[in-house]
Chain A
Amino acid sequence: MRDLSPTTDKDAASLAMENELLRYETLHLRARLAGVERRLVAANQELRRVSAAPAPGRATAVAAPGPAAAPQVDRSRNDLVWLLRRLDGSAGRWVVRRFSGFRDLKARYLEETP
């Protein structure tokens, strides 16, 4: 295989000139990329600001839970159903059934849940 390492001063000088050329070009491209990234960040911030601002003349609606909150809601519902069944099957069921709040929760969750 041919030896690619510089063997003369002229080779080294040529490589140094090429190195400087590529270094300048790289620095220029990095600066340009940084400028594009700064404009992108500014554009995203402006987009979020415009999206968050309420539309004029329209009442602010209560935000519904997003898709990210759905697993937590399901888990809380299952815990509540489990707790109601435990209370309704316990020895003190005759006492708690006297409370209207327990009867409402039992009607709302146990009778709707299969």
Chain B
Amino acid sequence: MERAGESSVRELAEREMAVSGSALEDAVLAERAKAGDRAAFEQLYRGHAGRAYALCLRLAGNAHDAEDLLQEAFVRAWQKLHTFRGDSAFGTWFHRLSVNVVIGALRAKLRMRPADYVECPGRAASASPGLRLDLEAAIAQLPDGARIVFVLHDVEGYRHPEIAALLGIAVGTSKVQLHRARHALRKELGS
């Protein structure tokens, strides 16, 4: 069930991105990159690596895999640039591509987990001070299924039907995973 008349967080972010000046600059860079201009593609990397890395880091749960996935996403983007037609902002297009790359890599791992495998994360011994870092560490320690659904839904603004389609799971499973993730995080952050 979606809220009638309201846009998701992701849609709002996409609209904001589409009307920004940087989107126009990106469109020009993307056109140059499509023609084989590597320098233009590097500029796109500079502009979007941080956003994509945040996504990869939170979905993968560790920096090592996140770095591999980020590189894979940009390599895949270079290969698929010919499919970018400018209907949406480059950032939107690339973000979706990144999600698909990460989910594709993690899907097999996710399916190997029992559906009800969720445990409360332990507090990271080396967690840095500050609530944000505690929250990041707690997210990273969630079981894969719960973490991925939580990041996609609560951080990235995806809806359950979209998540279910991406992950190849039932909508109900997505909701259960989100519920468990939130419960575990509340418990962790409240302890």
A, B assembled together = no
Name B's A-contacting residues (CB within 8 A). Answer: none
